Structure 1
Amino acid sequence: MGSMEVHEELLRGQAEAWQLMFAFADSMALKSAVELRLADIMHSHGSPITLPQLASRIDSSCPDIPYLARLMRMLVRKGIFAVHQSSDGGDETLYKMTHISKWLLHDSELSLAPMILVENNQWLLEPWHYLSQCVKEGGIAFKKAHGCGIWDFASQNPQFNNLFNDAMACTAKIVMKALVSHYKDGFDSIQSLVDVGGGTGGALAEIVKSYPHIKGINFDLPHVVATAPVCEGIFHVGGDMFDAIPKADAVFMKVTV
């Protein structure tokens, strides 16, 4: 390899290192879009929207429009939103949704908004600062960051508990709709089903909705099921799976990686 090729490869490496260094900015911009409900505003508007129109519907008495413009430029560059060319030849920028931003809607049947909020929350970001320490000493990053395990932390922190449960519920709905639609005969012979670590019952609700003959038992830690909504055909049971599991014809476990 000649000196020119070595030099170009070194420059590429530097550029990629910078991209990795600031990758967190993508996540923070995405989180901001969800917090500001930008997708919801566009969706309810029903047509491409101007920056002042977007700003006027943000929950703020004095939104900073130039700052919003900078955020929108980044979100457009990442494909989360798109710029719409006006048919009347006007020079005012219009914004519209994309296939990505449809997943940011808060009240959509299928949404990743709760997961985006929890994964980019300071409580779950802080443990990442302990990765190198875990390599040197072993241990669990979350415990090093917060002084206890994630389940104990959730039991002591209602706000985090609700954020985490909402995130698990939204992804459960997405996965289970796909599973139930393809695993058509798998639950026919089951009369009772216990979901171990079922959170607030989102996964089990999708199963029982398609198979109403099933008696569903949603089993999780007491502080988790305490916030679970009432759902026809589902009984919420609190406990520790390492101690005992409610009896049923079958056990279901969904693992979130």
Structure 2
Amino acid sequence: MGESVVTEKAYAMLKGQAEIWEILFGFVESMAMKSAVELRIPDIIHSHGSPISLSQIASEIDSPNGEIDTNCLVRIMRLLVRKKIFTAQTSSNGAETLYGITSSSKWLLHDAELSLAPMVLMQNHPWQLAPWHCLSRCVKEGGVAYEKAHGCGIWDFAANNPEFNKIFNDAMTCTAKITIEAVIGAYGDSFGRIGSMVDVGGGIGCAMAAVARAFPHIKCVNFDLPHVIATAPVHDGVSHVGGDMFVSIPKADAIFMKWILHDWNDEDCVKILKNCRKAIPEKTGKVIIVEVVLEPQGSGLFAETGLMIDLVMIAHTTGGRERTELEWKTILQKAGFPRYNIIKIPALQSIIEGFLQ
């Protein structure tokens, strides 16, 4: 019995060591995936319509000197096959390995209607990685990680850096397309009863463009900071308005906000929601919030991702956080929305409706 207990303890310690190594090098997976996106490997394989060899992949990678380090490439592919980003199979003649795409790598295609490639590039950019090195300082000193890394908050950084502003907006646009499709599918009948809607913090208008296409009767307004609206393209059925949600919000039957409130602390969220309250009809108005509803002990597909994004809020915002249902209820009630409803959708986020009555 004693020997068995020792063996179990030894295995538990060995397993613990393995888990630390895996977490320690978790960034390697993200960097390998980023390199595949930058090299357009998913697009190259996808364009062939079937698995292809390493030499075929290499021949289509754009290189300034025309030379590809296939030793480096094959090792990147080996890890990404292990992580099920790509498949690997032996050719019919047994001479080489053929690589194919999976349901994961389909989300990394640059030209797909729904793609996470811009988000991969944004989150793994050196500008976005720098604040992560300040997390322990935030614990000891307080303050904002992004300001510690860059000397200003993310919104000022974007306003003064056109290159980053584009990278950021591209990432937000790609996630908006993914989420709004799920929202429209789950919320369609309710959209049918709305005459006008403002997307607060709508970026360059992707979400409202999708709503306008699906429900042309809705008067859609895309509302964001002036430097964001300045880069927004024309969308049929969508009006762009620049402004500040902390000052006032254009009036409408409903206010739509996707991944906006998680950028702000509770006090700021209440301020924003109170401005939403002023912008909608007293009896029939509502806010439609699309955000993560944290389930710390949950086992759903996105439960762990929600906890990770909560730390992204520490790294990249000035007090933002992901919230549990109870935390959302508290904020809504403080802002004057006594009744709420949560609708789960096939996405990372859920729909949170807030009602005035």
TM-score range, shorter chain: over 0.9
Matched, 1:100 2:104: yes
- Residue 120 (structure 2) aligns with: 116
| Matching residue within 210, 213, 220 for 1:209 | 213
1:27 maps to a residue whose letter is: S
Say whether residues 1:68 and 2:73 are aligned partners.
Answer: yes
Once the 2 structures are TM-superposed, how far is the Cα of residue 6 of structure 1 from its aligned partner? Answer: 2.1
Q: What amino acid sits opposite 1:11 in the alignment?
A: L
Aligned to 1:43: 46
Shift of 1:191: 2.1
1:80 alignment counterpart: 85
1:251 to partner: Cα distance: 1.0
**Counterpart in the other structure of 1:10:** 13
Corresponding residue number in structure 2 for 1:191: 195
Between the aligned partners of 1:5 and 1:92, the Cα distance in structure 2 is 42
Q: What are structure 1's unaligned runs of at least 5 residues?
A: none
Matched, 1:145 2:111: no
Q: Percent identity?
A: 61
Q: What is the CA–CA distance in structure 1 between the aligned matches of 2:224 and 2:235, rounded to whole Å?
A: 15
**Equivalent position of 1:132 in the other structure:** 136
Secondary structure of the structure 2 residue equivalent to 1:90: coil
Which residue of the partner structure matches residue 247 of structure 1?
251
CA distance in 1, matches of 2:20, 2:191: 49
In structure 2, distance between residues paired with 1:3 and 1:105: 50
Is structure 2 residue 35 aligned with structure 1 residue 32? yes
Cα distance in 2, alignment partners of residues 220 and 82 from structure 1? 42
Equivalents in 2 of 1:36, 1:207: separation in Å?
33
The CA distance in 2 between the partners of 1:64 and 1:207, in whole Å, is 45
Deviation at 1:29, TM superposition (A): 0.4
Unaligned 5+ residue runs, structure 2?
Answer: 260-290, 292-308, 310-357
Query: How far did residue 206 of structure 1 move?
Result: 1.4
Q: Give 3-state SS (helix, strand or coil) of 1:227's partner.
A: coil
Question: 2 CA distance for matches of 1:7 and 1:192?
Answer: 64
Q: Which amino acid aligns with 2:60?
A: R
Rounded to whole Å, the distance in 2 between the matches of 1:96 and 1:214 is 42
- What CA distance in whole angstroms lies between the structure 2 residues aligned with 1:251 and 1:42? 42
Match of 1:218 in 2: 222
User: CA shift at 1:122, angstroms?
Assistant: 1.0
Q: Which residue type is aligned with residue 227 of structure 2?
A: H
User: Which amino acid letter does the alignment assign opposite residue 238 of structure 1?
Assistant: G
Note the C-alpha offset of 1:218: 0.4
Residues 199-225 of structure 1 deviation map (CA, whole Å, 9 limit, x = unaligned)? 111111111111011121100111111
SS of 1:219's equivalent in the other structure is: strand
Which of 33, 52, 56 is the matching residue for 2:55?
A: 52
C-alpha separation in 2, matches of 1:218 and 1:132: 37
Picking from 165, 168, 191, the partner of 2:169 is 165
Q: Report the Cα distance in structure 2 between the residues aligned to 1:30 and 1:86, rounded to whole angstroms.
A: 24
Cα deviation, residue 157, structure 1: 0.8
SS at match of 1:123: helix
TM-score when normalising by structure 1: 0.96
* Distance across 1 between alignment mates of 2:176 and 2:96: 41
Report the structure, 1 or 2, having the larger strand content: 2
| Aligned-pair Cα RMSD in Å | 1.3
How many residue pairs were aligned? 256
